[in-house]
Amino acid sequence: MPDTALYKSPYGELLLSRRPHRRRETLQAWDAADDYILQQLSELKLAPDCRLLIVNDAQGSLSTALSSYDCSLWADSAISQLSAIENCARNKRPSPSFIPSTRIPKGRFDYILYKLPKSRSLLRYQLQCISTLIVHPEQFIGAAMARHIDHHVVEEFSKHLATAKPSLARKKARLIQLQTPPKTINVTDDTHVIILPELNLTLSNRANVFSRDKLDRGSRLMLRGIDKLATPPSNIADLACGNGLLGLYAARKWANADIHFFDDSFMAIDSAQTNLSANAIPPPSETSRVCSFSADDCLSNYQGDNFDLILCNPPFHQDHHVGDHIAQTMFRDSVKHLAPHGRLCVVGNRHLGYHVTLKKLFGHCEVIESDAKFVVLLAQRSHPHQNG
């Protein structure tokens, strides 16, 4: 069972957990910005039939607290969706309807509750999308921890929605309040395209994709590591796939292997799908391969065949929280879903010390590629039938 914590919200006491689940959880499923939004709403005495659009509810705390209203959750995170469902169920409350970030919300909403995302490009895209949903400035209630609101954020609001002003701080959080009605804003294409002639690849990257402006150093090193894998796999996972680069590279190297792409971000999954079809990689219709794309919390909902090879460039932060907890969950999930002689190939910063965890889980871990900052590690079970 996941660790839970009691949140005494303005809408009642709630038992909430965070994803990915881990023992002895040190982080809460809510923050002071969530609490500020809920406090502000509670003072407004909402009508029972009020319609709310909740944006970027990272762990479902807002959705759970406000579940007695007609709530829609719009987010780019499978973890956000799964957490809202799980926390609502735990508290015997109805779940919100979910809208992935790849769709634009439509209809009438009485209030839009907005948690600022970490990504500036996602912020711009979302502000443009919600501009047509707001008639009066009072309909919008934005919030973030105070340290994440600076003049650049205020400028983004001014350019892409309306003039905005941060409130006074409360428990180190601030509201963002609109000062004028929204402008008429056209939603621009949020895709950024990078061309990699040395790899003969053109990659489309949606607003919330990691390293959307360039090929990151870790991924470049990982490609060199993939070239050293001699045994041809038949079933491959690209875990934390981003724009799908590692999976695409593997698809070219092993033409008949099945490729499965996983990421928390719906925009990443959408980008990977686009890139598979756009880069002259033989599609399933021309080969015997199967390709699938899943927005998920690591591999928590995967029920297919075990993998011969899992490729992983794991994130080292979750929103504004820096740490290796997501990577650690990915490593444990990989043990569960690898075939007896399956391999996990991981790239990471040297200082993160992934090799320590991988050796404990697999029994065998070696460095197959490295530079001054990153290492590529290959883990394989010492005993093929161990369960990690």
Amino acid at site 175: L
Alpha-carbon distance 156 to 164, whole Å? 9
Which of helix, strand or coil describes residue 247? helix
pLDDT for 59: 96
pLDDT at position 23: 82
DSSP classification of residue 352:
G
Between strands 97-100 and 70-75, the pairing is parallel
Give the pLDDT band (50/70/90) at residue 382: low
Mean pLDDT of 74-93: 97
CATH number for the domain formed by residue range(s) 192-381: 3.40.50.150
Find out whether 71 and 47 touch, Cβ atoms under 8 Å.
no
Averaged pLDDT for residues 171-197: 94
Tens digit of each residue's pLDDT (9 = 90 or more) over 243-256: 999 999 999 999 88
Q: Which helix (H) or strand (E) holds 170?
A: none
**Residue environment code for 210-224, b if the CB has 16+ CB neighbours within 10 A, otherwise e:** bbbeebbebbbbbbe
Task: State the distance between the two ends of the chain, measured CA to CA, in whole angstroms.
Answer: 19
- In Å, how far from its chain's centre is CA 271? 13
182 neighbors 161 (Cβ within 8 angstroms): yes
Q: Where in the chain is the domain with CATH 3.40.50.150?
A: 5-178, 192-381
Taking alpha carbons only, the member of 261, 296, 361 closest to residue 20 is 296
Q: Residues 87, 57: contact at Cβ < 8 Å?
A: no
User: What SS3 state is found at 336?
Assistant: helix
CATH of segment(s) 5-178:
3.40.50.150
Antiparallel, parallel or unpaired: β 363-370 and 338-349: unpaired
Angle at 73 between CA 300 and CA 241, to 5 degrees: 40
Residue pLDDT, tens place only, 280-331: 776 555 566 789 999 999 999 999 999 999 999 998 755 655 558 899 999 9
Report the sign of the C-alpha dihedral through residues 114, 160, 155, 267, in that order: positive
User: pTM of whole model > 0.85?
Assistant: yes
